[in-house]
Every structure is written in C-alpha cells, then in structure tokens.
Structure 1
C-alpha cells in the first residue's frame, strides 16, 4: 500500500488551506520517511530524553504498551529494549515499514498494525496498561470530533488502571510569542532545520529542510495546552500531569514540548454520597 508518487508531497495551489485529518498519509511519502531518522537522530534523542518515559511507565506498573504513533520506531524499540511488551501502530504504511526495518536492524521484531486512531478498536482487540502517542502526532487531527473520538478510542483500549502518555509542541508559546527552538530534545539532528513556515489559530505549517537541500512540509493543528487537557478530562481521564521538556515544574512558554500523562483510574468524588 504505497503512495502512487513517492517523491512529491501534494498540498495543491493553496497549502495553508489543507486542514484535513486524512491528508497526513500524503505527507509522509517514501522519500520523507527515508529522511525522518536524520531529523530525530536516534542516538542523540536517546540521550536527551533519558529514562523519562521508561520511568513513567514503570512507576505505574506498566507491562503492555500500545505505541499508536510508531513513526520510524524510535520509542517502540526503546521500550522493547527496556523489557516492555509493545504493539506498534501507525496510520502510515510507509512509517510502519521503516519502523519494522529499523527494529530488525537492532535485533527486535515489531508487532505492527496499521490503524486509524478514530477506529482504533476495529483493528486492535487487546487491552493495554499504557497507550503512548508521541512525536507531536496528535496534532495531525484537525477536527475536534476526530480528537475526541481518538482519545475515546485510546481510553477504551486501556485497562482500568491504565495511562495515556501524549505529547505535543508547546503551541501556546508559538502562537503567543513566535517560534523559538531553544532546546533540541525531540528533533536532535544537527543538520536538519524544522521551523514553522506559517501559523494561525487553526494551522501550524512546518517546513523541514535537510542538508541535501530537500524540503518537506507537515500541516498540523496548533493545540493549546489547556485545550488538550480539557479534552482528556471530558473523555474520562481524571488525573492529568503535564511536563515541560520532561520537567515537572516549568514556566508556561519556556518548553519546546509538553508531555501529558493521563490516568484512566476512576476516583469517586468524596462529595458523592454512598448509596443507602
């Protein structure tokens, strides 16, 4: 299931008008996917994020993880190497093929599944202790009902005491103060430039420029931190902790990335009267 043209991204005559959840499969074309690991730089990213995700998962007693935004496999491989039982999902067949190859080269065999988050439970029929949605991937959803549906699908896939870990760029800082990449925790490749070409309240269009002169774009929705947290609460997650560049305490517009850790565990309100 490969795109008919694997070397040209299609955004039409007016790229900033493309605000469609379904468009991302046309953005992750083969040639872009092949370069994606230059952007991440696995070794440097491994070092920069340290044990953050592994420690979070272990602190909740997690064993089984569903990586819903596998990409080229960085976190799936990281968690497999740390002893977790991982299933790797992605909406892009190009990404999954690359992830499988990356894992195989490092001595792991990925259990992959191609899935649209909005109908995740059509293709994933297992329960997990944790769902992870990393790499700013959730911002590919442009419609609010798509975001709600995806979060509800994640929630349903989790065991009763499971957790969701979801990250995003700090779009509040970009929208309110303009773009500044002070840190390189996520995209650690030194030779690749990733920066917004256009931004408004409904679109963040990023350009990725590689050393060989190749340029690619991604159109994403600029999620504000509190908006994302509110959506999580509304689909049922009660306790949500947000970290800025892996730190628990941070100034609002300082971090490049935010990580939300949401607990499914249902806590009865103390005000609720016991049923007689």
Structure 2
C-alpha cells in the first residue's frame, strides 16, 4: 500500500495539525523498522544482495525524513527528546549515504572528464584490462612484460584503444583510471563503515528509540491544535534563501578551465558551466 506523505504546504488543504505530524512520524518509524528487518533477513555481509542494498537505502531514507521532520516541526515536539534524536539520525543517514555518494561522485566526475576531453563514451575498465597496456608517469604507453608490470608504471587505459575512447587523450585516460581506483576504494571503505555502524550499540540505541516512536510520538500539549503550514513555509523560505546565496551567477568559467589548454582536450573552446 502506497504511503501518503505529509504535505503541509498544500494551500488547498485544510488546516494540518499535530495529529498529521504524529501519523507521519509513526509511518516513517514503521518503514524504518521494516527496512531493518529486511536488511537482517537478506544478509548484511560484505557481499550483500541487492535486497540488502535496497534495505539499507530505505533505512537511510526513513532516518532522513524523520530527522527532517524533527527539525522543521521542533516547536511542536518534546525539546529534550527531539534534540537527542536528531544528531543520531543524522549520523546514521550520513553513514549509510557515503557508499552511494562515492558511486554517484565517480559517475559525475567521469562524465565531466568526457566532456572536457571531447569523448563521447568512457571505456570500461574491463576493456583496459583486456588490452593489458600500461601508461608510465610521463604519459607514454609501454606494453606490460609477461608475468608482471614494468617497474615504475601504473595500470591505465591503453592508448591504443582509440576506437572506444574517441578523442580521449592519454592524460584524460590516466585521470579516469585514477578516479576509478580512488573512489572504488573509498566506496569499499564506506560499505565497511556502514556495516560496522549497523552492528554497533549506537545504532541499536537509535533503533530502540525509533521503535518507541512507531507507537508514541512525544508532541507538546500545544501541538494538537497547531497548524503545521507556517512552520513548513518557514523551512521553504530558508531553503530558498540558501539557494539564492549560492555563487552560481558569479562563477563565469568552469573550475580549472585552463586545464583544457594543457592536454585534457583537443578543443579549447569554452564548455557549458556545470
């Protein structure tokens, strides 16, 4: 059954009171507990299944939504409980988000590298391994000796694979290989940190509090008749002001645009700003 989300910003809706907030928090706490049970049933080892990854993602989403609601509507909740709960939920959602952030960051950076170098597609790592080439620190391609790599060399995309990398230069290929190596390692470490967090006493304490929240929401006495829409509108205004303060208009050129002249791209024409 699809969950109905709290939407106190709907101008056509009737007054949204603390009862709606309580129902929403109970629903998110239930989703949290359901995801936790699924994560335990599907396995939480280093080689977890796709279901366990989805369960961890659902845990992160529920924790973030509960934390965001506690922040937005904190005047209507017990202050001591809310202030103790929010940092723990932020810790949990942040820890679980690291692995996904590394994968997303790798994809964004590789796509940006393609654009800078004028390539239409980035060759897969497996293709580079199949070729078996090596690129030295000076950027010259030398074949790998039988039984091992040449001294002082690093694995990278072979410069002979021009059909797959289009206009990708040797320097850009080396940068892509370095990005993939570093962020894959970071993703592995983030996965291990998430598993450690989910097995820690700190997480079990958070889960116990969420279990209580699933049946009892500590609202203040004034919350029963309070309208949630002004608090939601205030949060929206803070977000709008924060976006307006970003220096997107004043940034006239892509970061480190002069690198285009030094080997990343055969075309030095300005690229659209990201």
Q: Normalised by the size of structure 1, how large is the TM-score?
A: 0.21
Q: Which has the higher helix share?
A: 2
Q: Normalised by the size of structure 2, how large is the TM-score?
A: 0.21
Q: Which has the higher strand share?
A: 1
Larger relative contact order (C-alpha < 8 A, sep ≥ 6)? 2
